[in-house]
Amino acid sequence: MQLALIGYGEVGRILAEDLRAQGHDVTAFDLKLRTSAAVALRGHSVVHGVTLVDSHADAVRAADLTVSAVTANQTVAAAAACAPGLRPGSFFLDFNSASPGAKITAAEHVARHGGRYIEGAVMTAVPPHRLKVPLLLGGPHAEDALATLTQLGFTARVASASLGVASATKMCRSVIIKGLEAMVIESFTAARRYGVEDAMIASLRETFPGFDWDKQATYFFQRAIAHGRRRAEEMRETASTVREAGLEPFSAAGTAERQAWMADLADAGLFGKRRGRPFTRRQDWRIEADRILDDLKTAKED
């Protein structure tokens, strides 16, 4: 098949690797190709045989299926930029973590130019599952696309023929999942400051037996350090989802701020990023919490 990827970040590259391994032709575009990050993206594309192009239109022009895997705040803009270049009748799978309202608006852009929009809601982290990550589909063309996506190796099922249902499921889940990350980072770092982390974790184990809080906390810190910016954007979309339901998104909005705060610390180099290399993955959340506390102490002294 002729496949197009809009977004060549972590998710886009994973999809590209798995689809190219099956022998499909993959063309990709990412706004970062216009920045200094282009060198790394082009290096990856050469290794895996992915064709990188200079615009949305160039990417989608011959595609049977386009997958949009951009940051949440670019969901509608990506669909609008791709729509005029889509081949009539081709599928446009929106992989992005956006609110139901954003997905509906994106679908309108695609439909206006003859494309068939499929709402996609990724229901867990992509890296462990890769192409087979659980995926909810939505919209009037979801059922038509299911066989094609299954053939490609996606683990997908149709949630609803109505747009917004799949995304609402994803976003409401994110209030818990991303919120738990933010709460653990906040709680565990504060507990570390007071020297009560061992007592607190012991109490949590009594309340939630079988849950490895140390291991999970380390994972939560790592995910926020590496992907806090993307998670913050997703949580702003989640807040929009909650607001669209008529509720004030106190938790979702707070989670977005905490994730963005972690991203700011990571961008400042607090956790060891050097010249674009990956963060050092440590085996104990306490190391990262101590870095945060040291930074806060230094800032207060200054």
Site of tokens 């446009």: 92
- Give the CA dihedral 263, 27, 46, 38, nearest 10 degrees: -40
Cα angle, residue 289 at apex, residues 287 and 295 outer, rounded to 5°: 105
Fold classification of 2-162 is Rossmann fold (3.40.50)
Q: How many residues does the chain have?
A: 302
Architecture of domain 167-301: Orthogonal Bundle (1.10)
Asked whether 220 and 233 are in contact (CB, 8 A), the reply is: no
Q: Enter the DSSP assignment of 64.
A: S
Please state, as a whole number, how many other Cβ atoms lie within 10 Å of the Cβ of residue 267. Answer: 12
DSSP code of residue 248: -
Question: Rounded to whole angstroms, how far apart are CA atoms 98 and 170?
Answer: 9
At a CB cut-off of 8 Å and minimum separation 6, what does 114 contact?
86, 88, 89
Per DSSP bridges, beta strands 51-52 and 65-68 are: unpaired
d(CA 198, CA 47): 46
Sheet of strand 2-6: strand arrangement: 51-52, 25-29, 2-6, 65-68, 91-94, 116-122, 134-138, 155-160
Q: How far apart are CA 133 and CA 125, in angstroms?
A: 7
**Domains of the chain: which residue ranges?**
2-162, 167-301
Residue recorded with tokens 């705060």: 261
pLDDT digits (tens), the chain, 302 positions: 999 999 999 999 999 999 999 999 999 999 999 999 899 999 999 999 999 999 999 999 999 999 999 999 999 999 999 999 999 999 999 999 999 999 999 999 999 999 999 999 999 989 899 999 999 999 999 999 999 999 999 999 999 999 999 999 999 999 999 999 999 999 999 999 999 999 999 999 999 999 999 999 999 999 999 899 999 999 999 999 999 999 999 999 999 999 999 999 998 889 875 444 555 567 899 999 999 999 999 988 87
The answer to whether 2-162 and 167-301 have equal CATH topology is: no
Residue type at position 103: K
| Nearest by Cα to 222 from 177, 289, 276, 130 | 289
| pTM of structure | 0.87
